[in-house]
Amino acid sequence: MVCCLDTFLFKGGFLKSFYLVLVLSLFFVSKSFSNDIEAGDLRYHKNCHNCHGKAGMGVASYPKISGLELSYIIDRLNRYRSGEKIGPNSGLMIMMAKKLSDEEIDVLAAYLSSIN
């Protein structure tokens, strides 16, 4: 039994299986993330672009929000949604974020973190 296990683990059987699972996992995760980016793009252009501009580059007193870390964007939107005042435009952001679902926050963050 040890001999068969040794052959499986070290002659490539285990590694081939591992690599196959890894490649398939990455494919499905990237496909899912790609869908999140597309959904986030659509959601962003419903309202957010009015203040943050095309592709989140910022306009006037509204900051650039593209290219930020995914976790940072999710945290900020959740804090605004809870009613927390963070900066000078908090009133408007709280009003806009209160309407967002968890899924909308996730897709917006995926979209914004994917662009520069």
Residues 25-74: tens digit of each pLDDT: 555 444 445 578 999 999 999 999 999 998 899 998 899 999 999 999 99
Q: Token pair of 64, please? A: 């650039």
Residue located via tokens 């957010």: 48
Indicate the pTM of the whole model: 0.70
**Sequence letter at residue 98:** K
Residue 21 clears pLDDT 80, i.e. is over it: no
CA–CA dist 7, 12 (Å, integer): 8
**Sequence letter at residue 79:** R
| 59: three-class secondary structure by DSSP | strand
Residue 106: its pLDDT value, please? 95
Residue 12 clears pLDDT 70, i.e. is over it: no
Residue 86 clears pLDDT 70, i.e. is over it: yes
Residue 93: its pLDDT value, please? 96
CA–CA dist 71, 108 (Å, integer): 11
Residue 111 clears pLDDT 90, i.e. is over it: yes
Question: What mean pLDDT do residues 72-93 have?
Answer: 96
